[in-house]
Amino acid sequence: MNPEDRVRCPWSVDSQIYRDYHDQEWGRPLHGDDALFERLCLETFQAGLSWITILRKRPAFRAAFDGFTIGRVAEFDQADRERLLADAGIVRNRAKVEACIANAKVARDLDIGLDELLWSFAPPPRPRPRALADIPAITPESTALAKELKRRGFRFVGPTTAYALMQATGMVDDHLAECWVDSTT
Protein backbone atom coordinates (compact mmCIF):
# COMPACT_ATOMS: atom_id res chain seq x y z
CA MET A 1 0.00 0.00 0.00
CA ASN A 2 1.22 3.47 -0.86
CA PRO A 3 1.97 5.27 2.44
CA GLU A 4 -0.03 8.27 1.22
CA ASP A 5 -3.14 6.10 0.91
CA ARG A 6 -3.09 4.98 4.54
CA VAL A 7 -5.98 5.96 6.78
CA ARG A 8 -4.67 8.35 9.42
CA CYS A 9 -6.11 10.33 12.29
CA PRO A 10 -7.70 13.42 10.68
CA TRP A 11 -5.51 15.94 12.52
CA SER A 12 -2.41 14.56 10.83
CA VAL A 13 -3.25 14.85 7.15
CA ASP A 14 -2.72 18.57 6.44
CA SER A 15 1.07 18.61 6.25
CA GLN A 16 4.04 16.30 5.84
CA ILE A 17 5.45 17.29 9.23
CA TYR A 18 2.18 16.23 10.89
CA ARG A 19 2.05 12.97 8.89
CA ASP A 20 5.62 12.11 9.85
CA TYR A 21 5.03 12.91 13.52
CA HIS A 22 1.77 10.93 13.53
CA ASP A 23 3.22 7.94 11.69
CA GLN A 24 6.54 7.70 13.50
CA GLU A 25 6.14 9.12 17.01
CA TRP A 26 2.74 10.16 18.34
CA GLY A 27 1.15 7.56 20.56
CA ARG A 28 4.10 5.19 20.54
CA PRO A 29 5.46 4.23 23.96
CA LEU A 30 8.40 6.46 24.84
CA HIS A 31 10.77 5.82 27.71
CA GLY A 32 13.88 7.46 29.10
CA ASP A 33 14.11 10.38 31.50
CA ASP A 34 15.63 12.84 29.02
CA ALA A 35 13.31 11.81 26.17
CA LEU A 36 10.26 12.28 28.40
CA PHE A 37 11.64 15.55 29.73
CA GLU A 38 11.89 16.83 26.16
CA ARG A 39 8.26 15.96 25.51
CA LEU A 40 7.20 17.55 28.80
CA CYS A 41 8.99 20.76 27.84
CA LEU A 42 7.59 20.76 24.30
CA GLU A 43 4.05 20.24 25.60
CA THR A 44 4.63 23.17 27.96
CA PHE A 45 5.82 25.37 25.12
CA GLN A 46 2.85 24.27 23.00
CA ALA A 47 0.25 25.54 25.48
CA GLY A 48 -1.81 28.15 23.64
CA LEU A 49 -0.06 27.51 20.31
CA SER A 50 -0.47 25.16 17.38
CA TRP A 51 1.45 21.90 17.70
CA ILE A 52 2.87 22.37 14.20
CA THR A 53 4.64 25.50 15.47
CA ILE A 54 6.45 23.38 18.04
CA LEU A 55 7.26 20.62 15.55
CA ARG A 56 8.78 23.12 13.15
CA LYS A 57 10.88 24.61 15.94
CA ARG A 58 11.87 21.30 17.53
CA PRO A 59 15.41 21.20 16.06
CA ALA A 60 16.03 24.71 17.40
CA PHE A 61 14.56 23.74 20.79
CA ARG A 62 16.86 20.72 20.96
CA ALA A 63 19.89 22.86 20.19
CA ALA A 64 18.90 25.63 22.58
CA PHE A 65 18.15 23.24 25.45
CA ASP A 66 21.24 21.02 25.08
CA GLY A 67 19.23 18.10 23.75
CA PHE A 68 16.92 18.35 26.76
CA THR A 69 19.46 16.53 28.92
CA ILE A 70 17.99 17.02 32.38
CA GLY A 71 21.32 17.48 34.17
CA ARG A 72 22.50 20.13 31.72
CA VAL A 73 19.25 22.12 31.64
CA ALA A 74 19.08 22.03 35.45
CA GLU A 75 22.38 23.94 35.51
CA PHE A 76 21.21 26.74 33.17
CA ASP A 77 21.92 30.15 34.66
CA GLN A 78 20.78 33.71 33.98
CA ALA A 79 22.98 33.96 30.89
CA ASP A 80 21.29 30.84 29.51
CA ARG A 81 17.87 32.33 30.26
CA GLU A 82 18.74 35.49 28.35
CA ARG A 83 20.20 33.44 25.50
CA LEU A 84 16.97 31.44 25.26
CA LEU A 85 14.79 34.54 25.36
CA ALA A 86 16.81 36.03 22.49
CA ASP A 87 16.64 32.86 20.36
CA ALA A 88 14.15 33.47 17.52
CA GLY A 89 14.27 29.77 16.67
CA ILE A 90 12.23 28.81 19.75
CA VAL A 91 9.15 30.13 21.49
CA ARG A 92 10.44 33.06 23.54
CA ASN A 93 8.01 33.00 26.42
CA ARG A 94 9.68 33.85 29.72
CA ALA A 95 7.27 31.83 31.87
CA LYS A 96 7.72 28.74 29.70
CA VAL A 97 11.51 29.08 29.57
CA GLU A 98 11.62 29.46 33.36
CA ALA A 99 9.30 26.47 33.78
CA CYS A 100 11.48 24.25 31.61
CA ILE A 101 14.60 25.12 33.60
CA ALA A 102 12.82 24.77 36.95
CA ASN A 103 11.31 21.46 35.85
CA ALA A 104 14.79 20.17 34.95
CA LYS A 105 15.92 20.88 38.51
CA VAL A 106 12.89 19.07 39.93
CA ALA A 107 13.38 16.12 37.55
CA ARG A 108 17.08 15.90 38.43
CA ASP A 109 16.26 15.77 42.13
CA LEU A 110 13.39 13.25 42.01
CA ASP A 111 13.61 10.25 44.31
CA ILE A 112 12.60 8.08 41.31
CA GLY A 113 13.24 8.55 37.63
CA LEU A 114 11.01 10.83 35.61
CA ASP A 115 10.15 7.86 33.39
CA GLU A 116 8.94 5.81 36.36
CA LEU A 117 6.98 8.73 37.79
CA LEU A 118 5.17 9.62 34.56
CA TRP A 119 4.39 6.06 33.51
CA SER A 120 2.98 5.24 36.96
CA PHE A 121 -0.05 7.30 35.91
CA ALA A 122 -0.66 5.48 32.61
CA PRO A 123 -4.17 4.04 32.59
CA PRO A 124 -4.90 0.48 31.54
CA PRO A 125 -5.30 0.01 27.79
CA ARG A 126 -8.74 0.78 26.40
CA PRO A 127 -10.35 0.48 22.98
CA ARG A 128 -9.28 3.10 20.48
CA PRO A 129 -11.66 6.00 20.00
CA ARG A 130 -13.94 5.85 16.97
CA ALA A 131 -14.01 9.62 16.34
CA LEU A 132 -12.09 12.73 17.39
CA ALA A 133 -15.11 13.71 19.48
CA ASP A 134 -14.50 10.59 21.61
CA ILE A 135 -11.05 11.79 22.69
CA PRO A 136 -11.04 13.61 26.02
CA ALA A 137 -8.98 16.70 26.78
CA ILE A 138 -8.39 15.53 30.33
CA THR A 139 -8.90 12.30 32.24
CA PRO A 140 -8.80 11.32 35.90
CA GLU A 141 -5.28 9.99 35.28
CA SER A 142 -4.05 13.23 33.66
CA THR A 143 -5.58 15.22 36.51
CA ALA A 144 -3.84 12.99 39.06
CA LEU A 145 -0.55 13.25 37.14
CA ALA A 146 -0.77 17.05 36.99
CA LYS A 147 -1.49 17.22 40.73
CA GLU A 148 1.47 14.98 41.52
CA LEU A 149 3.81 16.93 39.25
CA LYS A 150 2.72 20.20 40.88
CA ARG A 151 3.10 18.67 44.36
CA ARG A 152 6.68 17.80 43.46
CA GLY A 153 7.37 21.32 42.20
CA PHE A 154 6.89 21.05 38.45
CA ARG A 155 5.49 24.15 36.76
CA PHE A 156 3.18 24.81 33.82
CA VAL A 157 1.73 21.29 33.77
CA GLY A 158 -2.03 21.18 34.13
CA PRO A 159 -4.37 18.27 33.37
CA THR A 160 -4.69 19.18 29.67
CA THR A 161 -0.92 19.38 29.17
CA ALA A 162 -0.52 16.16 31.15
CA TYR A 163 -3.02 14.40 28.91
CA ALA A 164 -1.34 15.68 25.75
CA LEU A 165 1.93 14.29 27.15
CA MET A 166 0.23 10.96 27.83
CA GLN A 167 -1.05 10.85 24.24
CA ALA A 168 2.26 11.87 22.69
CA THR A 169 4.30 9.33 24.64
CA GLY A 170 2.01 6.34 24.23
CA MET A 171 0.70 6.20 27.79
CA VAL A 172 -2.69 6.24 26.08
CA ASP A 173 -3.50 5.23 22.51
CA ASP A 174 -5.75 7.86 20.99
CA HIS A 175 -5.17 6.88 17.39
CA LEU A 176 -8.63 6.41 15.93
CA ALA A 177 -9.88 2.85 15.48
CA GLU A 178 -9.52 3.08 11.69
CA CYS A 179 -5.99 4.53 11.79
CA TRP A 180 -3.26 2.36 10.31
CA VAL A 181 -0.70 3.05 13.05
CA ASP A 182 0.01 0.19 15.41
CA SER A 183 1.27 2.12 18.41
CA THR A 184 2.43 -1.01 20.20
CA THR A 185 5.42 -1.27 17.89
Active site residue 180: no
- Distance of CA 162 to CAs 36, 72, 109, 139, 184, Å? 12, 23, 20, 9, 21
Residue 31 falls in which region: left (phi positive, over 0), alpha (psi -120 to 50) or beta: beta
Active site residue 18: no
Catalytic residue among 21, 26, 119, 163: 21
Catalytic residue among 11, 25, 51, 148: 51
Catalytic residue among 18, 26, 38, 43: 43
- By annotation, the residues acting in catalysis are 21, 43, 51
